[in-house]
Amino acid sequence: MTKPWPVGDPALLAPVEEHEDLRAVIRKVLERHAPHPRVREVADSPLGYAPELWALLNSELGVSALAAPESRGGLGFGTRELGVVLEECGRALISEPVLSSAVLGFKRFWPPTTTWWTTCSDRR
């Protein structure tokens, strides 16, 4: 019998209080700075996103560096936390390049250093 992919502990994806706190912060920021009429207006603009919201998400919350390791200049959280942010961005229907920037930012740190890879593996 083949094992489903990925093999891992399902508890790793279980909600924890810190994720709910992060979710509440992101939701509050997006409710304040990205109401639905503004989101529609921005999505139809030539740029396609609001530079002021994008700057806020990065300067105040660091969403692009969220999953990147601290040793490489990121915030050192992980993909679970990034997932929480992406869920809230999807809920608000914003068109800011959160996913692409986080992935490209993470790719900047690849391949991982031995120290970083060992540290991430030890967390599991």
Residue 121's pLDDT band (cuts 50, 70, 90) = very low
Of the pLDDT bands very low, low, confident and very high (cuts 50, 70, 90), residue 118 is very low
Structural Rg of the chain based on CA atoms: 16
Q: Residue 69: pLDDT above 70?
A: yes
Nearest Cα residue to 77 out of 86, 87, 66, 85? 66
Closest by CA position to 66, among listed 52, 50, 51, 83: 83
CA distance 1 to 42: 50
How many other C-beta atoms are found inside a 10 Å radius of the C-beta of residue 105? 19
Is the pLDDT at 114 greater than 60, yes or no?
Answer: no
Residue-wise pLDDT tens digits, 30-59: 999 999 999 999 999 999 999 999 999 998
pLDDT at 33: 96
